[in-house]
Structure 1
Amino acid sequence: MCDFNVHVTEHSDRTVVAVSGELDLATYPLVTEVTDNLTLQNSTLILDLSDVSFMDSTSLTMLLRLRERTHARDCALELHGLQDSVQRVLDITGASPLFLIHPARTA
């Protein structure tokens, strides 16, 4: 596994999960482990993917499941800073409209 990191920053109204590296079959479980341990109730979960250079279909499935989980808890899910290759996966699969996508990196 190459350099892959998941960093969580919690704020009063949102939680930012910053992911860096390649998001694939080997790494998506690390993101799932982190997000499964977050309290998601009436807040916003931001996935900062600005440092994700690659995403495969297993990671897309992880995002769709996370979307279901956040919506079930009245929590918003936002994807921030998608690189072209990651955006392309969402576009080709028709998943883009399912997510609130912001082009900028999250501070």
Structure 2
Amino acid sequence: MTMHPTLNIDPATHTGLRTVLTITGALDMDTVPHITAATDPLALSGRTLVLDLAAVTFMDSAGLNTLLILRNRAEAEQGTLELRGLADQALRLLDITCARPLFTLTP
């Protein structure tokens, strides 16, 4: 588990062609380097990366930018990115920035 004062990242779990990464805390300017460090080693080719964000308490523009970069990387590697359990604050950020249609969202 990667620990930061306001962020926890559980070890990735792999099931078939799906990799799930559970993130708890804030996705902000201070914590996004830890997200990048946790996702960079993951193989995305032909796989679905599921980010379980149900326990994310806050997301700012740096967090959104990191998700967009990860989405673009997944698409470039013929994989997909799925965001699970986004809270209302994060969904509002996606709506305000018109980014919601760019992501696959699941409850």
State if a TM-score over 0.5 links the two structures: yes
Unaligned runs of 5+ in 2: none
Distance in 2 (CA, whole Å) between partners of 1:63 and 1:99 is 9
TM-score by length of 1: 0.92
Alignment map for 1:16-95 (pairs within 5 Å): 16-95=20-99
Find out whether 1:6 has 2:5 as its counterpart.
no
Find out whether 1:96 has 2:100 as its counterpart.
yes
Secondary structure at 2:67's aligned position in 1? helix
State the 1:27 CA deviation.
0.6
Could you list the runs of 4 or more consecutive aligned residues of structure 1 that deviate by over 4 angstroms after TM superposition?
none
User: What is the RMSD computed on CA atoms of the aligned residues?
Assistant: 1.0
Unaligned runs of 5+ in 1: none
Identity across the alignment (%): 47
CA contact (8 A) 2:28 2:58 kept: yes
State the 1:12 CA deviation.
2.0
State the 1:3 CA deviation.
3.7
Aligned length: 103
State the 1:13 CA deviation.
1.3
TM-score by length of 2: 0.92
